[in-house]
Structures are given as structure tokens and as C-alpha cells.
Amino acid sequence: MEEEEEPLSRMEPPKIQRLSESVVNRIAAGEVIQRPVSAVKELIENSLDASSTSVNLLIKDGGLKLIQVSDDGHGIRFEDLPILCERHTTSKLSAFEDLQRIRSMGFRGEALSSMTYVGHVTVTTITKGQLHGYRVSYRDGVMEHEPRACAAVKGTQIMVENLFYNMAARRKTLQNSSDDYSKIVDLVSRFAIHHNNVSFSCRKHGAVRADVHTVATSSRLDAIKSVYGISVTRNLNEIEASDDDPSTSVFEMHGYISNANYAAKKITMVLFINDRLVEWSALKRAIEIVYAATLPKASKPFIYISIVLPPENVDVNMHPTKREVSLLNQEVIIEKIQSVVESTLRSSNEARTFQEQTAGQSSLSRTNTTKEVNISSTPTGSKSQKVPVHKLVRTDSLDPAGRLHAYTQIMSDGHHERSASLNAVRSSVRQRRNPKDSTNLTSVQELLDEIHSNCDPGMLDIVRHCTYVGMADDVFALLQHNTRLYLANVVNLSKELMYQQVLSRFGHFNAIQLSDPVPLKDLIILALKEEDLDSECNDDNGLREKIAEMNTELLKEKVEMLEDYFGIHIDEHGNVSRLPVILDQYTPDMDRVPEFALCLGNDIDWEDEKNCIQAVAAALGKFYAMHPPMLPNPSGEGLLFYKKRKLMDGYGEENIGDSTGSDVVDNKVEYELLSEAETAWAQREWSIQHVLFPSMRLFFKPPVSMATDGTFVQVASLEKLYRIFERC
């Protein structure tokens, strides 16, 4: 018999071998030069490091056939040409410690070397004082011939031809030359508005006109205008921020952001950190959150930001293409910039203009006349990426047609209709103050620090980017986040949000003026009676009176603190006349005022400052939480409560409510009570949708406990549902 082959598990392990230097360099080159725009970025940065005042680009076939970058910088010395394109040769640093003080954009010495491994590179250069220049070609990091003397103009010209000629798979994926050329134009435009003291031009090979052409100017706005057009610059607001506290962060920020009148199909964010063009997704998301709460539907902002930090606070060695950097104390920087953007947008609302539109009316088309390449509205990739069906999100947070009530509420009564326009509601809801120096009490700051440190990042992402679907029942709301559906306890969420807002607005409250001041004593007595009913015990009225008098006198001693810190006004007669505004456009359920008054008298530790402030804030949070109204929900089975009842003959009062059906339900409905209940429940759902969740997206920091205490419960995942139905 023939011997059976040994199983694979018994075969000899593959031998580890050292790759040749050529293979290593080619692999590294594919990582550094990912597509033509990567090579263009490296060459422009080299030109700027050479103190150029003019940078000109010539592109053929999206950069695959030819990339030519010419500048008027200081040039390259003749003796440096032999090692110019070798890996890790650079004039920017000599020791690793130099990275902590690096100010140039290049530092690794990999870019030119990588280009020689995936293309044909020719360098022509001349330095100051020379009678002629030199031209030399490179391949695989070395010169193909000795430098040859030639006529040249000041500076350096680098040509990269036949990019990815030896990488067939990469070249096939980059056949759309117009797509790559638009990316190059977008890149040059970004450099042009930041380095406004340098003139830039970029044109296609064979074209007469340049698609980007700027001249050196001292005005940043003029540079933006020459690239993106007047339609952008006339809607920009200047922003500035800084922090010179070394214990938190040291930075300066200057930039321009679009106001509420600007409209585009996609966001344009140009970010430079220490003159380096980078991407910072966390900052972009933070700014988008502010804009989403301010701008009308489908509007995307234009943002230009330049941040300057000490070099030692920036780690530039994070990404093969240097596209990303890491900053020290970046959370503090994001928070300060987000605050400046929010305050600037709020102030710009005074000059905001709207185009009103009725339901069903087609949206107005907007055409912006720009140059040949429209940078502000054209996506960097012309081909739209197809989303897999099992990841398709079907609910639009800005489109009310996708919400639950659009399917369950077939007809709406006339008294539910609201005349206030959505624009007015959005504007008033978003006009929130953001006091910075609210108080000098260290206990308040300690409580706020505890909120920040106890914030769950996963839950925070859900809160910031969720879509409100509708109310599932009296307590839980349905939320969609990406492809997942969640049940969220509205009472718990609103209670915690109110608590956090009380501490954030500490000492800075607007007031809710009560039409008739209410005696504290009467409120506390009423709350005590309700407690006695719940516990089925009947204490005498004298004890209640005594407890109410003691608590009233105690609170009258604290009136100054309650008004200054929490906006609760109690007059000299012990009457409550004003309550604080914790969220704009929201008034708490006044049926819960007695319970709140009793809580202030009984549950507060007035001796310890931190415990006192925390307890009062918690009491306000409980009072202002969006509890279900006292009247039963008139939809569904709750309607039976409002139908008049008649007792059958032969049954006494002791049989009322008996489960045997002893009482007969008449068809007559108590319409006055029913109308009051419908109004209360409709107002609550409106507040949840238009006040609670927009405020949560801006301000709420969910504690870690909410991930496990049932406040958020995942009920469905689109991917899992598809797996289930695929098996059926």
C-alpha cells in the first residue's frame, strides 16, 4: 500500500527569510504613496519647506502619467544630489529628539525615495549664486546617471512620470483620472488658502487655463475668495480662541466658519496644525454637532481652522502619510473650539435669513457660480459608495416622515396643531447660554469633574448621533443609532440631564414666574397628605402642620442661597414665586411642586456645601424630569378612564372598581378631562422630541451606570435581523 500523505499539521513550518532591500522599499513606497494626490502633497510640502513663494503644478491623466511641481525655493546643493532619493536622508533633523521641536512638514526622508520605487523621477535644481543648474534622474532610490548641467530657473522642479508603472493592481484601481485630478485640485486649494503668502497654480497638461490660480496676498479672506468664490466668503464669520494655561493646554486658534445663511451639499473642513495640513475626526464631529443643532436641513458648513501649539505638544510621527497628528490635552482644545463655534453661531442668528417652504413644496435649487472645478460642493470622490443593504440606515433624523408617529397617528385633532414654525422652534431651543465662570465654588467644579470622569464614551456616541423614532410606551422612547435600535428610559435620561444642567448653569438661571405665588407651608402639607395616602396611614393634622412650619422656617433661612445659586425665589412670607429655567422651551409638571418642596425641607444636608449643592441639584433633576402626566394616557386602554360609569342596581360603593365587572361603562366621555389629558401627553412628547433629545446631543454626558441599569436597552440590530431572515 502507498503511504498516506502526512497531514498538513505535521508538515515542516515555512522558513522565515529576510526580504531583499528592493522588496522592502517597494512595499514601503506603496504605503507612503497611496495615490497620485499623496505624491503631490509630499512635493508641495517640500516646496514650502524650501521657503518658496511660488508653487506651480502640471498634471496629466490625474497624475498617473505626469506630476510636475516647480517652485522658486532655495534649491538643492550639488553635493546632496547623489543621496537625495535614498531612504531616510533628510535635511530636517539629525537626531530623534529633534522630532519634539520639528517645525518643517517633512522629516522622515521617505517621500522622494518612495516615488523612485513606483515611478520615474527627474529633478532639476539650481541654488543661489550658481551659473547653471543640474538635472538628474532617479530609479529605486539611486541616480541613473551623473548630474548633468542644464539651464534652469531659480528653485527646483521635480517630475514624477508613469506612477505605479510596476504595480498593476494599484494602477487598475486608479483609472478614473478625473477623480484623482479633483482630489489634487482640492488639496492645492487647501494649501492656497492657508499659505496665502505663496502663489499657487494647478492645471491639466495641455489646458490653457489653470483650475487653481492664486497670488500671494496678506488677506486670508482674499485667498478663500479666489479659491472658493464670493458665495463662500460673504457668509463667513471669523473665530479666535487661545489658552495660555500650561496646566491644561497652550494653543492659539484662528479661523473662519460659515454662518447660518451658507448652504452646501457637503462639509468642507480645512484644518492646519502648526502649518501642517491634517485631518482630525474628533474635532470635525464636535463642530458638526453644533452645526446640526443650528443649521436648516441638508446644510453643511465651511470651516477653516489654523491651530498653533508648541512643537513639543504635537506628535507628528503618527501616520505614514503624516495625515494625522496627536495632541497633548486634545479634549480641552476641542471643548474650547466647540464653545467658540457655538457662541459665534448663536450671535450670527441675529442676521439669519430663511426661505420658508410649505410641506410638499419642492426644495429651491441653488446654483453657485464658481470656477471650472467647484471645490465647495463637489465630493472628493465622484463615485458614490454603495452601502450594503444590511447596513442601510433608513431613518433620517431631520425627516419627520421617518418617525414612529407618522405611522401610528393617522389623523390629528385641530387643537394639537401648532402654529409655530420649525425654524422659530429650532432657534429658540438652541439659544442656550454657556457660562464659563459661573462660580468660584470648588465643590461645584468637583461635581462637574465627577460627571466628566464618569462619562461612558460608548453611550456618549449613541447620545450624540442617535435618531429619535418615537415613544414606545409611557416611559421608553425608541432611538436608532447606526443600524441598532434602542429603548431609552426618558425619565432616567431627563433626570440626569437636568441634574447636570443645574450644575453647569449654577448661579446663571432665567426664571419661570408663577402666576400666583404658592405658600410653602401649604405645599408641604399637601405632599405629606399624599405620602399618608400612599402608606395607608392617617397621622393627625397637627403633626403635619408642625412639620410644615419647621420646614418652611428652615427654607426661609436659605432663601438667599436658593435664589442666587438655583434661581428659586421664596419671598419673606414663605411663598414660592419663581422657579429656574433649566432647559429653554420646557416647563416642569407643576403637579410635582409639593413633592419638590417637601424634598427641599427634608432631604438636604445644609451643613456640608458639596452635599447640599448635590442634593438640591438632584431634587431639581427629579422635579424637572419628564415624568408621565398624572392623568392616564388617553390612547389605547387609558381611554376607559375617561368614560362615565354607572353603578348597577344592587351593588354598593364597596363594589366600585371590582374586577367582576360590577360597574357599567357608559359610552359618554368626559371630554373636558380627556382634552386636558391629550394636551398634557402631546406636550410631553413634543418636549421629548424637540427639547430633550436636542439638548442631550449638545450637553449630556451619560454616566457609566446607564449602560447596565436598563436606561438603554438594545432591542434590534439590522445585521442580526438579516441573518435571521436569510435562514428563513
Q: What is the pLDDT of residues 325-338, one digit of tens each?
A: 777 788 888 888 98
Report how far residue 628's alpha carbon sits from residue 638's, in angstroms, rounded to the nearest whole number: 13
Report how far residue 1's alpha carbon sits from residue 412's, in angstroms, rounded to the nearest whole number: 86
The string of pLDDT tens digits covering residues 420-465 is 444 444 444 444 444 444 445 788 888 998 999 999 888 888 888 8
Report in angstroms the alpha-carbon separations of 430 from 308, 426, 507, 614.
30, 6, 20, 26
Report in angstroms the alpha-carbon separations of 469 from 398, 460, 462, 466, 659.
11, 18, 14, 9, 36
**β-strand pairing of 148-150 with 133-139:** antiparallel
Which of the pair, 540 or 41, is modelled with greater confidence? Answer: 41
Report how far residue 156's alpha carbon sits from residue 153's, in angstroms, rounded to the nearest whole number: 8
The string of pLDDT tens digits covering residues 159-186 is 999 988 888 777 777 777 778 899 999 9
503: buried, middle or exposed (CB in 10 Å: 19+, 13-18, 0-12)? buried
**β-strand pairing of 314-315 with 326-327:** antiparallel
> Using N-to-C axis directions, what is the helix angle for 541-557 and 520-535, rounded to 10°?
130
**β-strand pairing of 575-581 with 510-519:** antiparallel
Average pLDDT, the chain: 77
pLDDT at 240: 92
pLDDT at 156: 94
Of 707, 695, 679, 680, the residue nearest 489 (C-alpha): 707
The string of pLDDT tens digits covering residues 276-324 is 888 888 888 888 888 887 766 556 889 999 998 887 777 765 555 556 7
Contact residues for 172 (Cβ-Cβ < 8 A; gap 6+): none
The string of pLDDT tens digits covering residues 493-541 is 999 999 999 998 888 888 888 888 888 888 888 888 877 665 555 556 7
Own/partner pairs, 388-396, CB within 8 angstroms, 24+ separation: 389/722, 390/483, 390/718, 390/719, 390/722, 391/482, 391/483, 391/718, 391/719, 392/483, 392/718, 393/480, 393/482, 393/483, 395/467, 395/469, 395/480, 396/467
* Unique residue bearing C-alpha cell 492657508: 194
Report how far residue 677's alpha carbon sits from residue 673's, in angstroms, rounded to the nearest whole number: 6
Share of the chain above pLDDT 70, in %: 72
Report how far residue 201's alpha carbon sits from residue 191's, in angstroms, rounded to the nearest whole number: 11
Taking the whole predicted model, whether its pTM rises above 0.85 is answered as: no
The C-alpha cell that represents 175 in the structure block: 483609472
Q: Three-state DSSP class for 226?
A: helix
Report how far residue 381's alpha carbon sits from residue 173's, in angstroms, rounded to the nearest whole number: 13
Q: Three-state DSSP class for 510?
A: strand
pLDDT at 21: 67
Of 247, 261, 395, 271, the residue nearest 334 (C-alpha): 271
The half-sphere exposure of 682 on its side-chain side, counting CA atoms within 13 A, is: 14
Q: Of how many residues is the chain composed?
A: 728
The answer to whether 223 touches 212, Cβ cutoff 8 Å, is: no
pLDDT at 532: 65
Report how far residue 196's alpha carbon sits from residue 191's, in angstroms, rounded to the nearest whole number: 8
The string of pLDDT tens digits covering residues 470-481 is 888 888 998 888
Report how far residue 64's alpha carbon sits from residue 62's, in angstroms, rounded to the nearest whole number: 6
Reply yes or no on whether the pLDDT at 607 is more than 50: yes
- The region that residue 240 occupies, defined by phi over 0 for left and psi between -120 and 50 for alpha, beta otherwise, is beta
Report how far residue 683's alpha carbon sits from residue 93's, in angstroms, rounded to the nearest whole number: 65
**For 692, which DSSP code?**
I
Which helix (H) or strand (E) segment is 593 a member of? Answer: helix 593-602
